[in-house]
């Protein structure tokens, strides 16, 4: 066995069974090793950002890491934006990055770069293989680090000579991550006291592991016992939503609406989420929603499982086991939409047509601002957000989610501008025959930036400025693009037409794209 085969066998032994890859010359031994190792699925992406975004989506649905296989520093650099999103989502990813052979590095060949330096800002840990005898141990450790802390980005750099050289190594498995620290009694007591003292002005703010099925149930128990508010950040790795799940408010994206959202809150209790702040700074506006006059309590600081803290807090309010209140997600399906095709009519169709158990990937940007309200009472589903704000995540995220959960329909709601960052993901969806329906909101502009141009107080917007935010000249044919990548597609120009297309797409297997002309 050579070093490459040792790496692949160790990945498999440590529960990594999918590799999202865009390899090059320095990774050819690792590519060849795929034939020698059963049970590891290679998935080719035509751009490295597709690979890293897919690995993020895989973790969010499978709750175990996938690997990426990337080519040297420039290949890794192409994938960094979606590693940023993955890190913000709390996802676990194992990056395998090839490097030049050790003896070649000193020659400063054209592709030589500081791979560790490039990896560091978007990785929790970065290691370079230096010894053939330690290949399996180092790979197992990389897998363990990806699983640690609820999910982390672990990067392992593999010089080509260590991949092609013989490696007489036993395949190792890493120890399971240790148990998190117990919640601090004093912080839990402070949170409980605040809830008892005036819960109407107290907000439980949930994210990360607290924002799961069990976490929502515990939070709803506290709400029913105390009357407190439940909320979540604007963007989250994964949120259970829909009928049968407790309702939880989403923080508005626009800071002026977020200020109103938090206006009556005297105490904020953080469980798996950081203190909410404005997404950007604006002239003459504060970036914080909570100043020192209001209390912020964090019962689950770093190292403490927020779900365990939330459940322990709920045990202090047994009265919440009474009537469920609004926790059932009650509500009727909206009627069939008609007339003009708008973001609102699209949202109503999504709420009506979404099948039970679906996975919604949301990168709809401005067009999707009303989606949470429209879909609150849809069939039970999972919602995956653009966590780090680096656009180009939606289409790759859907690839990973569909591979991790092949029995569930994945619906991607995607802005036209952000889709173009990683449009190559459609080819991977077609190649792997993934059960993904993609909706492109085509307003032929970077609408989010047109809005932000006004909100930032920039000078009067002239023709040259507007030309940098416009996608209409020339117009982009997303149906044609999809078909060129092997994905069947159709265009919707009315609400009725969109509703019919979406209904059919939810019933058909494999990838399909709807271009929604709004």
What is the 3 state secondary structure string of 393-418?
CHHHHHHHHHHHCCCCCEEEEEEHHH
Measured between alpha carbons, how far is residue 246 from residues 75, 220, 240, 281 in Å?
A: 42, 6, 9, 33
**pLDDT of the residue at 311:** 96
Shared domain for 288 and 366, answered yes or no, is no
Shared domain for 353 and 493, answered yes or no, is yes
326 within a domain of the structure (yes/no) = no
176 within a domain of the structure (yes/no) = no
Contacts 24+ apart (CB under 8 A), 308-312: 308/180, 308/182, 308/183, 309/183, 309/187, 309/188, 309/210, 309/271, 310/204, 310/206, 310/210, 310/215, 310/218, 310/219, 310/271, 310/272, 311/214, 311/215, 311/218, 312/183, 312/188
173 within a domain of the structure (yes/no) = no
Residue-wise pLDDT tens digits, 158-170:
999 999 999 878 8
465 within a domain of the structure (yes/no) = yes
Shared domain for 262 and 400, answered yes or no, is no
172 within a domain of the structure (yes/no) = no
Shared domain for 159 and 190, answered yes or no, is no
- Count of structural domains within the chain: 3
Q: What is the mean pLDDT of residues 242-269?
A: 94
pTM for the predicted model, two decimal places: 0.94
Shared domain for 297 and 351, answered yes or no, is no
513 token code pair:
């794209």
Contact 299, 267 (CB under 8 A): no
411: pLDDT strictly greater than 60 = yes
**Cα–Cα dist 55/21, whole Å:** 10
Which residue, 57, 67, 119, 150, is CA-closest to 405? Answer: 57
Between residues 328 and 459, which one has the greater pLDDT?
459
**pLDDT of the residue at 168:** 79
330: pLDDT strictly greater than 70 = no
115: pLDDT strictly greater than 70 = yes
Domain that holds residue 216: 185-321
Read off the pLDDT band of 302 (50, 70, 90): confident
Contacts 24+ apart (CB under 8 A), 45-48: 45/20, 45/21, 45/396, 45/399, 45/424, 45/425, 45/428, 46/22, 46/424, 46/427, 46/428, 47/22, 47/78, 47/422, 47/424, 48/22, 48/75, 48/76, 48/78, 48/79
* CATH (domain of 43): 3.40.50.970
Shared domain for 305 and 392, answered yes or no, is no
Residue-wise pLDDT tens digits, 54-106:
999 999 999 999 999 999 999 999 999 999 999 999 999 999 999 999 999 99
Domain ends where: 104, 131, 164? 164
| Residue 330 phi, psi dihedral angles, 5° rounding | -65, 155
Find tokens 């990055």 and name the residue. 97
């Amino acid at each position: 066995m050579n070093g490459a085969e040792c790496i692949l066998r160790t990945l498999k032994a440590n529960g990594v069974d999918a590799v999202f890859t865009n390899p090059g010359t320095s990774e050819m031994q690792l590519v060849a090793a795929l034939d020698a190792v059963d049970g590891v699925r290679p998935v080719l992406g035509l751009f490295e950002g597709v690979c890293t975004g897919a690995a993020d989506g895989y973790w969010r649905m499978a709750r175990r890491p996938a690997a990426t296989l990337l080519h040297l520093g420039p290949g890794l650099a192409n994938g960094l934006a979606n590693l940023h999103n993955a890190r913000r989502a709390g996802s676990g990813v194992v990056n395998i990055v090839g490097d030049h052979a050790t003896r070649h590095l000193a020659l400063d060949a054209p592709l030589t770069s500081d791979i560790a330096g490039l990896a560091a800002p978007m990785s929790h840990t970065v290691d370079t293989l230096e010894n053939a005898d330690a290949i399996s141990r180092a790979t197992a450790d990389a897998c363990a680090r990806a699983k640690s802390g609820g999910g982390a980005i672990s990067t392992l750099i593999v010089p080509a000579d260590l991949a092609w050289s013989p490696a007489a190594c036993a395949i190792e498995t890493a120890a399971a991550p240790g148990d998190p620290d117990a919640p601090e009694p004093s912080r839990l007591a402070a949170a409980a006291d605040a809830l008892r003292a005036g819960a109407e002005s107290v907000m439980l703010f949930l994210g990360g592991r607290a924002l799961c099925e069990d976490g929502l149930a515990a939070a709803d128990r506290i709400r029913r016992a105390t009357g407190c508010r439940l909320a979540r950040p604007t963007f989250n790795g994964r949120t259970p939503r829909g009928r049968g799940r407790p309702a939880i408010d989403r923080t508005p994206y626009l800071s002026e609406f977020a200020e109103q959202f938090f206006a009556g809150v005297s105490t904020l209790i953080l469980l798996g989420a950081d203190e909410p702040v404005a997404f950007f700074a604006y002239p003459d506006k504060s970036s914080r929603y909570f100043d020192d006059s209001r209390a912020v309590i964090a019962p689950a600081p770093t190292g403490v499982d927020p779900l365990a803290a939330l459940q322990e807090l709920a045990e202090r309010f047994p009265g919440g086991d009474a009537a469920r209140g609004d926790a059932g997600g009650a509500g009727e399906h909206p009627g069939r939409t008609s007339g003009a095709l708008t973001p609102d009519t699209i949202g109503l169709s999504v709420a009506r047509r979404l099948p039970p158990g679906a996975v919604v990937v949301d990168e709809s940007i401005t067009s999707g601002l009303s989606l949470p309200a429209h879909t609150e009472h849809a069939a039970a589903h999972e919602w995956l957000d653009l966590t780090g704000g680096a656009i180009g995540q939606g289409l790759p995220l859907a690839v990973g989610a569909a591979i991790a959960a092949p029995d569930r329909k994945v619906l991607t709601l995607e802005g036209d501008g952000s889709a173009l960052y990683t449009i190559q993901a459609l080819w991977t969806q077609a190649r792997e025959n993934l059960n993904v329906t993609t909706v492109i909101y085509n307003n032929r502009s970077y609408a989010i930036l047109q809005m932000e141009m006004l909100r930032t107080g920039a000078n009067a917007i002239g023709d040259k400025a507007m030309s940098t935010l416009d996608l209409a000249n020339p117009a982009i044919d997303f149906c044609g693009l999809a078909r060129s990548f092997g994905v069947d597609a159709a265009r919707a120009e009315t609400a009725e037409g969109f509703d019919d297309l979406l209904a059919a797409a939810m019933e058909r297997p494999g990838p399909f794209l709807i271009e929604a002309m709004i």
